[in-house]
Chains A and B, each alone.
Chain A
């Protein structure tokens, strides 16, 4: 009875559905790389970014049909990715806390002896570490705003908080970064004021 299993594949899905699938291909093409980069920043692990970005788009595919016309697809994908990222952290919180604590203790070269280039590199590395050590909500809000330029309202939707709260979280992150860079910021900033 091989025939039962080896008959040719049928065609017959309707036109409307085929078009929806093409539209989803376009969504993947337009946003997959960015969503994965977001998740790479959020999880700091390429394998986690691979898994969570796939999961983001598989969920999106299931829900895409129900998405209203004119919806902001990019912000919606960030919301799905953010939820998955937060669930991921809940599972991994112990590991991450240990990682962040270790990262903050890492020595950083003394700024007084460094030239401009090296100093900027060190400052960037220090910023990355401060970002890693931020509370989850501040960190996600900061990454969405500063790395991906989402609107505060969109960030609020992703984090299930108000637009104002989203802004407050980003500003709080900036304050912590400035404090973390104490002594690493170039002197002579006064002239900019």
Chain B
């Protein structure tokens, strides 16, 4: 193969540019001048033009597998799912300190107590997900209802919930059983375990409630230890649990580093009954807390649809206030 003259080698990139229609005027004139006198470059330019023409015809040629319909439908479904998981959240001051409320298209997904500074910890960020957007207006209505609740002016938060952040089916069952506890009532961890058919799982119930993504809304503050001690809440903030119970009319007494719900001062419901009693009715005082639900006031028990016991008559002989 003979070596090409330097001028031809130098002009070769310009041949390409001319053939593909990308050359500026000066380069085009140079090429024109050169190919007029150089046969081999003239042929090369012609070949590049032919190549470019064929490449161009490939662009519109049909391709095997060029049907985007299925992929588009799958994409639409995945985007819809992704969107429905995106959390909009707001951070608000409350009488329990800064509170974050997050909601998705499906419903309220997250309620979290924040530290006094209102900053987001890594675990809260993880719960929010990468796509979360701060949008106070999306949660303002929820905030107003929560405030009413914390002031004792509202007994229910009838919010649609997004429970896709549940860690397990077990946690879901625990939280559903907890949601069934009426306003102003408390039951024990062992009691929740019994209600979901896992009577020996009291500790697992406590763990599941520890990771409750929706405290207050799913009232894990109504679940206490078998001795009546409040045990724990929101990390080490058991005083929040005491305050929430106080709002609902549940009395507590201070006990070393903790609070305790005094059984002897609570109206009492035995599992499976429809009547509530004073705590001394029959053999009630010897029953474990796991088979009982305790109410702070008669009003709360009756609001939960219960009737006064026909033997101990709490309506005629109420507990001392």
By a beta-carbon cutoff of 8 Å, the part of chain A in contact with chain B is 1, 4-5, 7-10, 12-14, 16-17, 21, 24, 28, 32-33, 36-37, 40-41, 45-46, 49-50, 53-54, 57-58, 61-62, 65, 120, 123-124, 127-128, 146-147, 171, 174-175, 177-178, 181, 185-186, 189-193
Q: B54, A32: Cβ atoms under 8 Å?
A: no
Q: B65, A189: Cβ atoms under 8 Å?
A: no
Q: A7, B160: Cβ atoms under 8 Å?
A: yes
Q: In this complex, which of A10, A62, A120 has the most chain B Cβ atoms within 10 angstroms of its Cβ?
A: A10
A-chain residues with CB within 8 Å of residue B108 when the two chains form the complex: 10
Q: B55, A189: Cβ atoms under 8 Å?
A: no
A14-B135, A36-B71 as given contacts; A189 in contact with B176, CB under 8 Å: no
Q: Determine the distance from Cα of A178 to Cα of B136 in the docked complex, in whole angstroms.
A: 61
Q: A189, B43: Cβ atoms under 8 Å?
A: yes
B-chain residues with CB within 8 Å of residue A28 when the two chains form the complex: 72, 75-76, 79
Q: B135, A17: Cβ atoms under 8 Å?
A: yes
7 further contact pairs, Cβ within 8 A, besides A62-B131, A124-B58, A193-B35: A10-B160, A14-B138, A40-B65, A146-B58, A181-B51, A185-B47, A189-B50
Q: B105, A124: Cβ atoms under 8 Å?
A: no
Q: A57, B51: Cβ atoms under 8 Å?
A: no
By a beta-carbon cutoff of 8 Å, the part of chain B in contact with chain A is 13, 16-17, 20, 35, 39, 42-43, 45-52, 54-59, 61, 63-68, 70-72, 74-76, 78-79, 82-83, 88, 103, 105-108, 130-131, 133, 135, 137-139, 141, 158-161, 163, 175-177, 179-180, 218
The 9 closest A-B pairs by CB, nearest first: A189-B46, A46-B65, A1-B176, A193-B42, A50-B71, A7-B160, A36-B68, A33-B68, A10-B160
Q: B13, A171: Cβ atoms under 8 Å?
A: yes
Query: Can you give 13 A-B contacts (C-beta < 8 A)?
Result: A4-B161, A10-B159, A16-B135, A21-B83, A28-B75, A37-B63, A46-B65, A57-B79, A58-B78, A61-B79, A127-B54, A181-B51, A190-B42
